[in-house]
A and B are shown apart, each in its own frame.
Chain A
């Protein structure tokens, strides 16, 4: 039994690379996802994932499948959309969510347009669903850097991020770090999405960010164990996706997200912390 689990990774270098990439992605994206969920910004994460597409596509047009060009493009597009939607919401009567929705839809269609005009359908599929089994050195370097930046930022800003979620007015009354924490967090979201789309694609990378946090909230009550469990769940789903793609030729990134999706549905029903069945029990 164990050999079925380990052999693909022992035998093939591309599987080991994918496993390492998934581990790095899980360490970076899952904690960001937990905070997105706690700040009630899960859909913002989804919108940002779509928003980075035209930037990455422009990078692709200029330099082909160059990780650095696509990363810089994605980062610029993500930050630009966050900034423009923020300005639009503050300067007009549009609310923050509808403003972000409008900008990400423009951005997404622009991205698909750029790729379709200059690339092939295969290129478009690579952008939307990634290529987990073909992570090169540049992609792994990017994933390592983003994971490190995320961990360091969380270490430095953890207290501020927590207090910003619970009671931002209080944080503003005792410190000027509140806006720094807010914008640093948004940059972390964009960074992790950009690094995630190399492996999972723009549409799927946000799943690895949001779903582990949403699942872990059903099982643990404290924040730190919630973050740890989210990382574990993200990595476990990646392993399942990689093995399913190796043995039964299922597409990797949808399998990863679907396994998390099933875990989420299971948690909604059986979750120890306010799952449907446990809530029912507590009323009896």
Chain B
């Protein structure tokens, strides 16, 4: 599904991700774990094609980004914007309706279905600024489900979310996983990762370990991660170029 070949991602002369060689199989449910500044979010952006590799490449088997759904961090979204839940969720239909096509009855039915799946039935007409953090995250999950993507990229999906909402949303992700969807989530709660994520990639600019969560999240690996001092100064950073390969 996804292969990183000697991948280096950088800003100016600092490498957020350095010479990463790894692959993620189709249908994998994997947590991306590491310290702040360790390159996790940058890696997600590179998969989407927003950050270009300075060196190496990404091979992606989903045709040209069309099968990717991205869930940004809660803090990056303007929740005071005058918009209803239904309107925000409907933006998940972008690839089907684009700039001009109308949103028809079947689309609306689908919107209500995904709202039901995340436990937000009856909230369609509520304005965004009346929602709690947890409710808002459920709405973002609904939008992600509406995209019907083969690859889900989630950036800290459970940050600032209560236990009940976390459990409900994990259940939603597990259902997606059962449908053979590949899921990559940036996570900080290691207990949650151990309990719910079958595999983990531990990244601190360099790849520390990748494999089954219980093996990767061992004390020696976590100690190496803590002792590393991101980001890596990378003197010979080349001009970024598009080498992401959408096979």
Contact (Cβ within 8 A) B70 A157: no
- Whether A137 sits at the interface, judged by CB under 8 Å, is no
- Report whether A163 and B91 are in contact in the complex, using a CB–CB cutoff of 8 Å: yes
Assembled-state Cα–Cα distance A246/B231 (Å): 67
B48 in complex: contacting residue of A163, A173, A220, A221, CB < 8 Å:
A173
Q: Is the CB of B99 within 8 A of A177?
A: yes
Question: Does residue B83 face the partner (Cβ distance < 8 Å to A)?
Answer: yes
- Asked whether B99 lies within 8 Å of A160 as measured between CB atoms, the reply is yes
**Any chain A CB within 8 A of the CB of B78?**
yes
Interface check A222, CB cutoff 8 A: yes
Q: Verify if A87 is at the interface (C-beta below 8 Å from B).
A: no
Q: Contact between A222 and B82 (Cβ–Cβ < 8 Å)?
A: yes
Could you tell me the distance between the alpha carbons of A177 and B95 in the complex, rounded to whole angstroms? 12
Q: Pick from A55-63, A97-105, A124-132, A164-172 the stretch touching chain B.
A: A164-172
Chain B residue with Cβ nearest A177: B99
- Bitwise, B66-103 to A at CB < 8 A (1) or not (0) is 00111010001110011110001001001100111000
Interface of A, helix, strand, loop or mixed by DSSP: helix
CA distance A15 to B83 in the complex (A): 39
Which residues of A lie under 8 Å from residue B161 when comparing CB positions? none
Asked, given contacts A38-B81, A173-B50, A175-B94, whether A159 binds B99 with beta carbons under 8 Å apart, the answer is yes
- A226 partner residues in chain B, CB cutoff 8 A: 82
Tell whether, in the assembled complex, residue A166 and residue B88 are in contact, meaning their CB atoms are under 8 Å apart. yes
**List of A residues within 8 angstroms of B50 by Cβ:** 172-173
Q: Would you give the shortest CB distance from B47 to chain A, in whole angstroms?
A: 10
**By the criterion of a CB under 8 Å from any partner CB, how many residues of chain A are at the interface?**
24
Among A171, A173, A220, chain B packs the most CB atoms within 10 A around the CB of: A173
Contacts of B120 in A (CB 8 A): none
Q: How far is the CB of A245 from chain B (nearest CB, A)?
A: 34
**Looking at the complex, which one of B48, B69, B78, B98 makes contact with A166 (CB distance below 8 Å)?**
B78
Chain B, range 39-66, C-beta contacts under 8 Å to A: 48, 50, 65
Chain B nearest Cβ from A91, distance in angstroms: 11
Asked if A248 is an interface residue, CB under 8 A from chain B, the answer is no
Nearest CB on A from B101, distance (A): 10
Interchain CB contact under 8 A, A167 and B68: no
Closest to B50 in A: A172
Q: What is the distance, in angstroms, from B81's C-beta to the closest C-beta of chain A?
A: 5
Q: Given A38-B81, A156-B100, 13 other A-B contacts at CB below 8 A?
A: A159-B91, A159-B99, A163-B91, A163-B94, A166-B77, A166-B81, A167-B91, A170-B72, A171-B94, A172-B48, A175-B98, A221-B127, A222-B84
- CB pairs A–B below 8 angstroms (17 shown): A159-B99, A162-B81, A165-B81, A166-B77, A166-B78, A166-B83, A167-B88, A169-B70, A170-B72, A171-B94, A172-B48, A173-B48, A173-B50, A173-B68, A175-B94, A177-B99, A220-B82
